[in-house]
Chains A and B, each alone.
Chain A
Amino acid sequence: MAFISAGYNPDKPMEGRISDIGPRKFDEFYPPVIARNKGKWLYHEIVEPGILMHKAESGEEVYTVRCGGARLVSVTHVREICDIADKFSGGFVRFTTRNNIEFMVESKDEALKLKAELNSRKFAAGSHKFPVGGTGAGITNIVHTQGWVHCHTPATDASGTVKVVMDEVFAEFGAHNMPAPLRISMACCLNMCGAVHCSDIAILGYHRKPPLIDHEYLDNLCEIPLAVAACPTGAIRPSKTEINGKTVNSVAIKNERCMFCGNCYTMCPSLPLSDKEGDGLVIMAGGKISNRISNPKFSKVVVAFIPNEPPRWPTLAKVVRQIVDAYAKDARKYERLGDWAERIGWERFFEKCDLEFTEHLIDDFRDPAYYTWRQTTNFKW
C-alpha cells in the first residue's frame, strides 16, 4: 500500500491549487429527452407503481422507473447502477431527495423491461437490490441519518431501524394503497441532520440519561463556559471537584432539569450521554411539508419511548404497522395522516392506533406548550 500522490505538494499547498469551483453544472447530465423538453412538460401519469410518464408539449414522453435502496451504498453497488443505466437509460441516472434511484427511458416497453430487470436483482443473502416503487399514494423510501455507522451523538442506529421498517412496509412501497402519500423519516438524535420534524411518521433516536461527567479530563478537552452556555435549560454550572486528592475545574449538572438533548456533548466530549438502557426511540406522527389542502405542520410525539432492540427492533416495526394500518383503514382519499388525526381528534387517533396516551405526550416545554392544551368543550368520548 504505497502512498500515491495525485499531484498535491504538501510543501507548497497553493501550487496549482484549484478551489471554489462548486459542483458540476446540472445540465451536463440531462438525458437527451430531458434536455429537449425542459420547461415544456404538460402533465404526468403514474403508469403503475414505480413508473412515471411525463408528457411534453412536443408530444415526447419520458418514462421514469423509480427504485428504492439503502442510503448507504458501496461503490460496487453504484457501479451496478451505472451498468444498468448504460444498458437501459443512455448512461444517465438520477437520485431523489428520498434516496430513491431514477432511470429515464423513452417508451413504456423499455420501462416495463427495466422494472422487471430491477426487481430481479438481489444481494447474495436474498434482499432486493433495486425494488421498484415509491410513487403515488404509497410509502416511499425513508430519509435518514448516520446512526451507529458513522456518528458520535446517536441514540440508536439509523440504517438498521430503517431496514427493519422498510421490510415491514415493503408491500406499501410497491403499491398505491394508502389514502395519500405517507412519508416516514428517521433521525438518530435530536440534532436531526435528517430533519424529521415534519413527517407523517418520524422515528427519532433519544437519550434518557443525563450526561456522565468525565471530571478528570473535562477541563483539558472542553471550554467550560461553552459547555455551560450550551444547555438550553440552564442545568449545567461550573464547579470544582476533587480527583485523586487534586482539585480540578469541571461542571455540575442538575439532572432533574436535563431534557437529554445532548447539546452539551456536542460542545464538550467529556459529557457523553449514550447508554444501552437509557437510549431508544421516540415516534412522532402527523407532520407534513406539502401545502396541499392543509398547511405544512410539525409531527407530534405519539410514543414517548421504544427501547433499542437491535438488530430487528420488533416493537418499532409493530408500532409503525399499527399506525399505518389504522390510517389506511380509516382516512379519506387525499387525507394525509396528520389531517386524518386532526379530523377524527387525537383522542380517537390513540384509540384507533391502539397506542397508550401517557403524560409524557403533554407538552411542558416553554410557551408553545400552553397552546397545545385543550381549551374547548369540543372533545370526544
Chain B
Amino acid sequence: MAKHKTPLLDQLESGPWPSFVSDIKQEAEHRHANPDGIEYQIPVDVCDDLLGLLEMSYEDGETHWKHGGIVGVFGYGGGVIGRYCDQPQKFPGVAHFHTVRVAQPAGKYYSTEYLRKLMDLWDFRGSGLTNMHGATGDLVWLGTTTPQLEEIFWTLTHDLNTDLGGSGSNLRTPASCLGQSRCEYACYDTQSLNYAMTLEYQDELHRPAFPYKFKFKFDGCPNGCVASIARSDFSVIGTWKDDIKIDHDAVMGYVKGEFAPNAGAHSGRDWGKFDIEKEVVALCPTGCMSWDGSKLSIDNKECYRCMHCINTMPRALHIGDERGASIFVGAKAPILDGAQMGSLLVPFVPVEDPYDEVKEVVENLWDWWMEEGKNRERIGETIRRMSFQKMLEVTGIKADPRHVQEPRTNPYIFWKEEDVTGGWERDINEFRKRHQR
C-alpha cells in the first residue's frame, strides 16, 4: 500500500516509454520489503516521500525544493549539492535530500561487478535513486542526509577506488565520447585524454578557485557525439590534416547497392536507389568531390572534414592518418547574456600522451580568466568582454583566418600605440605650424 496517493503521477505509468514513476514505486516497495536485510541509513520511506512531494508539485505547478545549503566533504568544495524540501513535516523522508556526484569512468563503460558495488553503497546510504548519468557526465545520486556524506566518500575512495565529481565554481567532471574504443571515426583517444586531464586537474575539480564553472569535453571527430562545441568551455574535437582514405572497391559496392548508405541509418523508408552523385558529391559543402561514373575523387586540400561523405560510406572512406584535434573555447548555455558556441582557438594540436600541448593551452586560459574573470563569468563571456585578440595574446597564439567566419565589417580597430609608426605623442604647436587655427 503506497504511503501517499499519487493520482497525477500514476498517469505517467501508462504509455510505452520506461516510466520513472513505476521505477520509483518499484524502489519504494523494495525498500519496504528489504529482502536482503539492509540496515538502511536514511529513512526507509524516502522513495514514498519523494513521490508524495512530486505529486504535490504536479498539483501546485511549482517545485518544492529549497535553495541548496553548503554541505560537502572535508577539504572539497564540490561534488555534493545540498538539497532540502520545503514541506519537511509532510515528507520527512526527503527533508534532507542531498545530491552526490560520482566521477564516471570515461566513455561510461562499467563492469557489473563495479556497478553493483556502487549500487550497494547507494542502497545502503542513500535513496536508491540515481541518474545514469547527469548532463555533465557524472553518475548522479539523488538524495541522502548530511551524516552519510563522509561515509559515502570514505567507501568510494577506500573500497571503490573512485572519487566525487565537480560542482560549483570548479572544473566540472570532464566527459568524452567512447572514441577509439568502438568508433572508426575517432581521431584521437578521447577517453585517454579525458582521464589524463581529469587526473592532472583534480585540485581544480575539487576546490573552487575559478570565477565560475569550467567544463572540458572531448569529441573524437566533427560529428560531436558529446556535443562539446555547444556544452563545454574547453572543447577538443578530433580532426586530421592529410587525405581521406578511399577504398575504391567499397565505393563501387555502395554505388551498386551492395552496402546500405550511412551504415543503414535510413533503412526505415524507401529513399530509392543510392545515388552517389546526389547523396555524396552534391551534398559536399565544399564541392571538393567528383564522380566520373566509376571513380570518386576528392580534392583534399579543399575538404573541411565535415564527415558527411565518411558517414554516408563508412566502408569506403576513412579519416586521414595525420591526426590530432582542434580546440574550441567558450561554449555555454544562454544564462546570462545568451548562448555561446565554442570558438576556434587552436586549429590543430597533436593529441599524444602526456598531452602537454593541450594542457599548455588550458593553463594559459585559466591564468588569464582567474585574473580577469568577474564573479560568475564564464570564460566565453570574458573573451567577449575583453576580446578574442586578448585571448590570442594570453595563449601566445597567432591570428589565423581560420579563427573567423569572416573578417570584421567595421574598421574600429583598437590599434596599440606601439603598432603605429612614431607613437601617439605629438606636439600641437608643430601641428599648428602646418595648419592654421
User: Which residues on A are within 8 Å of B, measured CB to CB?
Assistant: 1-8, 10, 13-14, 16-31, 34, 38-39, 41-49, 54, 62, 64, 68-79, 81-82, 85-86, 91-97, 99, 101, 104, 123-131, 135-138, 143-154, 157, 159-160, 163-164, 166-167, 170, 173, 175-177, 181, 187, 190-198, 229-230, 232, 261, 263, 269, 274-277, 279, 287, 289-294, 296, 298, 308, 310-312, 333-334, 365-366, 368
Contacts and interface: CB of A to CB of B under 8 A. Distances in A.
B128 A74 contact: yes
B202 A310 contact: no
A230 B377 CA distance: 11
Given A23-B106, A71-B132, A151 B65 contact: yes
B203 interface: yes
A72 B199 CA distance: 28
A20 B111 contact: no
A174 to B, nearest CB: 9
Contact of B119 (A79, A148, A261, A308): A79
Contacts of B62: 148, 274-276, 279
Nearest to A151: B65
B16 A197 contact: no
A94 to B, nearest CB: 5
Interface string B151-190: 1111101111111000000000101011011111010010
15 contacts: A43-B314, A72-B131, A74-B24, A76-B26, A124-B22, A131-B17, A136-B263, A138-B268, A148-B58, A149-B54, A166-B17, A192-B335, A195-B231, A291-B306, A311-B8
B222 to A, nearest CB: 4
B372 interface: no
B74 interface: yes
Please list the 10 inter-chain residue pairs (A to B) with the smallest Cβ-Cβ separation, ordered nearest first: A136-B265, A276-B61, A167-B15, A192-B333, A176-B268, A23-B103, A74-B27, A177-B268, A123-B22, A125-B13
B279 A334 contact: yes
B229 A30 contact: no
Interface of A is mostly: loop
B132 A296 contact: no
Contacts of A13: 74-75, 150
Interface stretch (B337-345, B393-401, B412-420, B421-429): B337-345
Given A49-B267, A62-B182, A152-B65, 14 more contacts: A6-B155, A22-B195, A24-B162, A29-B109, A75-B27, A95-B108, A123-B22, A127-B13, A127-B18, A149-B20, A163-B12, A289-B230, A290-B224, A292-B307
Contacts of B163: 19-23
Contacts of A6: 151-152, 154-155, 158-159
Contact of B19 (A10, A127, A143): A127
B58 A160 contact: yes
B182 A127 contact: no
Contact of A128 (B18, B99, B106, B318): B18
A1 B194 CA distance: 40
A49 B307 contact: no
Interface residues of B, number: 152
Contacts of A26: 105-107, 109, 181, 191-192, 194-195
Contacts of B205: 22
Contact of A170 (B15, B20, B58, B97): B15
A277 B57 CA distance: 13
Interface in B262-288: 262-269, 271, 279, 283, 285
Nearest to B13: A125
A135 B267 CA distance: 11
Nearest to A231: B336
A190 B186 CA distance: 32
Contact of B308 (A24, A78, A198, A334): A334
A13 B157 CA distance: 14
A167 to B, nearest CB: 3
Interface in B1-54: 8-9, 11-27, 30, 39-41, 43-44, 47, 50, 54
